[in-house]
Amino acid sequence: QVQLVESGGGLVKPGGSLRISCAASGFTGSDYHMTWIRQAPGKGLEVISYISSIDHYTHYADSVRGRFTISRDNGKNSLYLHMDSLRAEDTAIYYCARGNHAPGYGAGCPDYWGQGTLVTVSA
């Protein structure tokens, strides 16, 4: 069955860096777009980045562009998010998700989600 497992979250100081990972199983990662979505405590959902399946086109939300970098290793069926210059407002649960039902552009809608990894940015 499809599984997505995030790892690498933790406590980091403002201005610091962190890399979180997502291990996929039960499907061929290279066939799907992959997305990072975050949810601040008690708040809603925000798509922060995605990477396309074939040409590795990447997209970033304005809130993270220039600070975060998404990448994927199809051979390892893994997705990564490298986060630099972290701020308190980046504190959130970070979910990786598989994109599906795409209209030919964009990442589609996430049909499978991981359990999330908590990133806390605090001094």
Partner 1 sequence: IQMTQSPSTLSASVGDRVTITCRASQSVSDWLAWYQQKPGKAPKLLIYEVSRLESGVPSRFSGGGSETDFTLTISSLQPDDFATYYCQQYNSYSPTFGQGTKVEIK
- Interface with partner 1 (CB under 8 A): 44-47, 50, 59, 61, 95, 100-103, 105-111, 113-116
To partner 1, the closest distance from the beta carbon of 47 in angstroms equals 5
Structure-token match 């997505």, residue found: 4
Which of 66/105 has CB closer to partner 1?
Answer: 105
Q: Which two tokens stand for residue 67?
A: 């600070």
Contact 99, 108 (CB under 8 A): yes
Structure-token match 């980045």, residue found: 49
Which of 10/57 has CB closer to partner 1?
Answer: 57
Which of 12/102 has CB closer to partner 1?
Answer: 102
Which of 85/115 has CB closer to partner 1?
Answer: 115
**Other beta carbons less than 10 A from residue 45's beta carbon:** 14
φ, ψ dihedrals at 31, nearest 5°: -85, -10
To partner 1, the closest distance from the beta carbon of 45 in angstroms equals 4
- Give the C-alpha distances (Å, rounded to integers) separating 27 from 2, 3, 43, 46, 77: 6, 8, 30, 25, 9
To partner 1, the closest distance from the beta carbon of 69 in angstroms equals 17
To partner 1, the closest distance from the beta carbon of 14 in angstroms equals 26
Q: Which two tokens stand for residue 27?
A: 């499907």
